[in-house]
Chain A
Amino acid sequence: MKVELEADKCVASGQCVLAAMDVFDQDDEGIAVLLDEQPADEHLDGVREAVAICPAAAIRLVDQ
């Protein structure tokens, strides 16, 4: 599974960081940064949560 982030859509809510701190971070303006494009299985639930709660719909989890 691969994580895709459209950073230009991001509204800096920080929801993804709260849901999956090992996969997402924020830059100095609070904009989401993808730390790990292909997270290990143990982080996938957190990523799915991030996809579901991102207010800007800026995150996707896609099959490869």
Chain B
Amino acid sequence: MADTTLTGPAHEAPDAVPEFPMPRESRCPFDPPPALKELQEQGPLTKVRLWDGSEPWLVTRYAEQRALLGDGRVSADTDQPGYPTKASPEAGEGKLSFIMMDDPEHARLRRMVTGPFAVKKVEALRPAVQRIVDGLIDDMLAGPGPVDLVDVFALPIPSLVICELLGVPYEEHDFFQEHTKTMVRTTATPEERGAASREVAGYLAGLLGKRVAEPRDDLLSGIAARVTAGELTHQQATEMALLLLIAGHETTANMIALGTLALLQYPDQLALLRETDDPKLVASAVEELLRYLHITHLGRRRAVTEDIEIGGQVIKAGEGVIMVNEIGNRDPEVFADPDRLDITRDARRHVAFGFGVHQCLGQPLARMELQVVYGTLYKRIPTLKLACALEDVRFKTDAFIYGVHELPVSW
């Protein structure tokens, strides 16, 4: 009988395939799971088991992560054999536009919307973002504390900015933020996620229709014009608008809230930020917090379409790969003393935005928003403090994007 051959619990067997994601049993909520660090010490690649029993490769070291993310033989197409899905996809659900496609179609679609995210275009938005941030802080200071920083500050900022850029009325934010939350919650059923996604897609399809008829000076009108020109179908245009609307929401919002929580735990680092007038140090703090935190904790996922030899292994065509950037960003070969938050270090080479042709399109915008936030909030509210015990903060281990559900703060 098979069970008589077991010498102990299955998880103690040396050849057991570990499950991914791993439990966050570390006492530090900002550190990767200890099991992930152990795997990284053992080697750059290892097999893991996912929710559906599939066994893709987990890539734990920085160099191999960058090499694979930049390799044309790995596919971002979720329909490819071996693609490691984060959860069960809803049958018949549309693709989330170009992030789930390969070149040349990926490049064709992505280039349609890259213009507004160029560095100088984003820089031109900085004064408007500064006004938004200052206005939200004014409102906070005018009312009683404590407040939930996620609700009154962290989420409204990226939401207001992307709504303005796209031309989506911000007044509707309750509607789409509620659905976006469902879409990124791993505990939501595929049906719930599918329904939420269709609700927002339907809303955006309606807005796109209006912009076809009456174009404005916004990104939705630009996408609508591609439909009129026959370069995009209505379906493709809607998927693209949905991607742009939701991509910046949870990510930037969690970077603001989790970043603030991390800084509150490191008062010396917070003091450096509070006291500086040097935009370079603020920019450096943004890069270090992007490296140190791990918003995209479930990794960048791909399917391999041709055999690839890397890190002493052969990844076969049809196998999946997961590049866990949170552990790549803690690779001691690349970042000295990687578990230390040090806003003065040069962290620019982090892979928080991914790498390769799919690297985050909105990163100049995210960087600028975070620079304004980190450069303003702690100066304007120098007495900002956590209004509950750290142990009582609920972390988003149940979401595709890591962060905190609420952040009660007072001052």
Within 8 Å by CB of B356, from A25, A29, A53, A56, lies A56
Q: Does A28 contact B (CB under 8 A)?
A: yes
Q: Does B361 contact A (CB under 8 A)?
A: yes
In the complex, A39→B359 CA distance in Å? 27
Query: Cβ of A11 and Cβ of B110 under 8 Å apart?
Result: yes
Query: Cβ of B356 and Cβ of A14 under 8 Å apart?
Result: no
Known: A18-B364, A52-B349, A56-B357. A12 touches B70 (CB 8 A): no
B111 neighbours in A (Cβ, 8 Å): 12, 29-31
Known: A26-B120, A30-B115. A14 touches B357 (CB 8 A): no
A38 neighbours in B (Cβ, 8 Å): none
Within 8 Å by CB of A53, from B115, B120, B349, B360, lies B349
Query: Cβ of B348 and Cβ of A55 under 8 Å apart?
Result: no
A1-41 CB mask vs B (1 if < 8 Å, else 0) is: 00000000001111001110000011011110000000000
A to B CB contacts below 8 Å, 29 in the list: A11-B107, A11-B110, A11-B359, A12-B111, A12-B114, A12-B117, A12-B118, A12-B361, A13-B353, A13-B359, A13-B363, A14-B122, A17-B118, A17-B120, A18-B119, A18-B367, A19-B348, A25-B120, A26-B119, A29-B111, A29-B115, A31-B114, A49-B348, A52-B349, A53-B348, A55-B353, A55-B356, A56-B356, A57-B70
Query: Cβ of A55 and Cβ of B70 under 8 Å apart?
Result: yes
Cβ-closest 8 pairs across A and B: A30-B114, A12-B114, A55-B359, A30-B118, A14-B119, A26-B118, A17-B119, A14-B364
A53 neighbours in B (Cβ, 8 Å): 348-349
B70 neighbours in A (Cβ, 8 Å): 55-57
Q: Which residues of A contact B (CB under 8 A)?
A: 11-14, 17-19, 25-26, 28-31, 49, 52-53, 55-57
Q: Does B355 contact A (CB under 8 A)?
A: yes
B355 neighbours in A (Cβ, 8 Å): 55
Query: Cβ of B348 and Cβ of A28 under 8 Å apart?
Result: no
B348 neighbours in A (Cβ, 8 Å): 19, 49, 53
A29 neighbours in B (Cβ, 8 Å): 111, 114-115
Q: Which residues of B contact A (CB under 8 A)?
A: 69-70, 107, 110-111, 114-115, 117-120, 122, 348-349, 353-361, 363-364, 367
* Centre residue among A12, A17, A56 by max chain B CB count within 10 A: A12
How close is B78's CB to chain A, nearest CB, in angstroms?
Answer: 20
In the complex, A11→B358 CA distance in Å? 8
In the complex, A61→B107 CA distance in Å? 25
Apart from A31-B111, A55-B359, A56-B359, what are 12 other A-B pairs with CB-CB below 8 Å?
A11-B107, A13-B363, A14-B122, A17-B118, A18-B367, A19-B348, A29-B111, A30-B111, A30-B114, A31-B114, A53-B349, A55-B356
Q: What is the chain B residue whose CB lies nearest that of A32?
A: B118
How close is A15's CB to chain B, nearest CB, in angstroms?
Answer: 8
B349 neighbours in A (Cβ, 8 Å): 52-53
In the complex, A19→B360 CA distance in Å? 17
How close is B109's CB to chain A, nearest CB, in angstroms?
Answer: 12
In the complex, A17→B355 CA distance in Å? 17
Query: Cβ of B118 and Cβ of A14 under 8 Å apart?
Result: yes
Q: What is the chain A residue whose CB lies nearest that of B364?
A: A14
Query: Cβ of A14 and Cβ of B354 under 8 Å apart?
Result: no
B353 neighbours in A (Cβ, 8 Å): 13, 55
B357 neighbours in A (Cβ, 8 Å): 11, 55-56
Q: What is the chain A residue whose CB lies nearest that of B346?
A: A49
B107 neighbours in A (Cβ, 8 Å): 11
